[in-house]
């Protein structure tokens, strides 16, 4: 019976991807490149600015953080085949295109880019805010004559408050909530991959279906630390959301006809972190943290959801002399690794990691890489 559900779910997902009528908006707020290096968002990772997205309870810890405009790029797909695939599209070489599609069991490519327009601040007295602005692109090519292409822009403003009802030498409890307002413009094309390339090359985009989406959602979290050694956390993502969607074309994109769309799927995540004692290293190891999370307990209540083991993640981050960071872990049953360089407040981070796009481990693997260059305080 479970196998039948999995087949049905795969059919539903593939049908939705290839039908503009089934376009469902999602937010593209990504874990930081640092976080991707050891597994992505962790509910206990509350010690830098990106904690505002991972767990709103970080706002109650009264630790000030700032994010200044930076370059943040996430690229996913068969990285080695991308240049060859692009060249084949330009030359209309259907033989090579078909070969790559068959080799990869369908060609998939996505990109998220924050081009120096994301910034924010977390205060030392409970309040925090962040603004994320990014471009995104996603291509799904199961066959030459059957493909889906999404391209768009998204802005998300996040603001919240947290407080600490318990704060002693050995115990720290924090609770927080954030609200997210968003605005997104996305173009959706469903056609043969060569026809899509021709349309984009001609520059005649006025008849391309376009979706304008706006709305509001909330996250809430709780964080507890025991003796500054063991942390546990619980976060509820999008327990309530309002999503309004307007469908038109790029030629009439500002002729809004907003209608209520499906709300975001709520998630409940929990995790823990162990801070390893490092005084024995005589300052050579500044931090050594081991984390584990279960990302979505809601999978146990949906028979058409993916295998629950894909929601498990674990990772380690070691910081040497407050300058160099090495990270590795596992997320969605694939390994991940990253490295970071911190020079005062200037940071460079790189990560490479796998993701599972299917419902079962190994059914549809996707390689990802990310890079961050910017200032964090």
Residue 19: helix, strand or coil by DSSP? coil
Name the CA dihedral angle for 245, 155, 111, 362, rounded to a multiple of 10 degrees: -60
pLDDT tens per residue, range 154-175: 999 999 999 999 999 999 999 9
Residue 289, classified by CB atoms within 10 Å of its CB into exposed (0-12), middle (13-18) or buried (19+), is: buried
Q: Where are the domains of the chain?
A: 2-375
CB 333 within 8 A of CB 37: no
Tally of CB atoms within 10 A around 200? 15
pLDDT at 310: 95
Residue 133, classified by CB atoms within 10 Å of its CB into exposed (0-12), middle (13-18) or buried (19+), is: middle
pLDDT band for position 184 (50/70/90)?
Answer: very high
pLDDT of 342 strictly over 70: yes
CB 233 within 8 A of CB 44: yes
Going by CATH, does the domain composed of 2-375 fall within 2.40.160? yes
Q: What is the DSSP letter of 323?
A: T
- Provide the strand spans (E) within 116-229: 119-122, 127-143, 146-167, 171-191, 209-226
pLDDT of 305 strictly over 90: no
Residue with tokens 């809601």: 298
Output the CA–CA distances (angstroms, integers) from residue 267 to 54, 220, 295, in the order listed.
Answer: 12, 11, 8
CB 297 within 8 A of CB 319: no
CB 125 within 8 A of CB 165: no
Residue 368: helix, strand or coil by DSSP? strand
Least confident of 104-108, 131-135, 277-281, 353-357: 104-108
pLDDT band for position 334 (50/70/90)?
Answer: very high
pLDDT tens per residue, range 28-68: 888 889 999 999 989 999 988 999 999 999 999 988 999 88
Largest CA distance in the chain: 67
Six-digit token pair at 322? Answer: 């407050």
> Concatenated DSSP letters for 330-362?
EETTEEEEEEEEEETTEEEEEEEEEEE-SSSTT
pLDDT tens per residue, range 99-136: 888 887 888 888 898 866 788 999 999 999 999 988 99
């Amino acid at each position: 019976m479970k196998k039948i559900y999995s087949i049905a779910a795969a059919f539903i997902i593939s049908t939705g991807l290839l039908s503009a009528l089934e376009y469902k908006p999602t937010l593209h707020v990504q874990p930081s490149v640092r976080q991707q290096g050891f597994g992505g968002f962790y509910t206990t990772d509350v010690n830098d600015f990106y904690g505002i997205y991972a767990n709103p309870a970080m706002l109650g810890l009264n630790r000030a953080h700032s994010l200044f405009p930076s370059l943040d790029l996430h690229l996913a797909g068969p990285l080695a085949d991308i240049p060859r695939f692009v060249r084949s599209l330009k030359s209309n070489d259907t033989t090579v295109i078909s070969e790559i599609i068959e080799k990869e069991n369908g060609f998939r490519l996505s990109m998220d880019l924050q081009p120096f327009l994301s910034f924010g601040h977390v205060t030392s007295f409970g309040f925090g805010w962040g603004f994320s602005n990014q471009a995104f692109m996603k291509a799904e090519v199961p066959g030459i004559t059957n493909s889906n292409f999404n391209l768009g822009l998204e802005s998300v403003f996040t603001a919240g408050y947290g407080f600490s009802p318990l704060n002693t030498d050995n115990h720290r409890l924090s609770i927080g909530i954030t609200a997210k307002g968003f605005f997104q413009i996305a173009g959706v094309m469903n056609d043969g991959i060569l026809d899509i390339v021709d349309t984009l090359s001609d520059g005649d985009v006025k008849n391309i279906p376009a979706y304008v989406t706006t709305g509001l959602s909330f996250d809430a979290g709780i964080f507890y630390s025991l003796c500054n050694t063991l942390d546990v956390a619980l976060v509820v993502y999008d327990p309530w959301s309002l999503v309004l969607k307007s469908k038109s074309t790029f030629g009439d994109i500002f002729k809004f006809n907003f209608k209520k769309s499906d709300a975001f799927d709520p998630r409940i995540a929990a995790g823990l972190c162990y801070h390893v004692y490092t005084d024995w290293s005589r300052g050579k190891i500044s931090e050594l943290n081991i984390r584990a999370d279960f990302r979505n307990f809601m999978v146990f209540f949906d028979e058409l959801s993916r295998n629950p083991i894909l929601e498990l993640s674990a990772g380690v981050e070691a910081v040497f002399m407050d300058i160099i960071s090495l990270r590795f872990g596992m997320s969605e049953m694939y390994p991940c690794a990253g490295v970071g360089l911190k020079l005062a407040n200037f940071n460079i981070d790189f990560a490479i990691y796998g993701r599972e796009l299917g419902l079962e481990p190994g059914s549809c693997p996707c390689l990802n890489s990310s890079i961050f260059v910017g200032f964090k305080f």
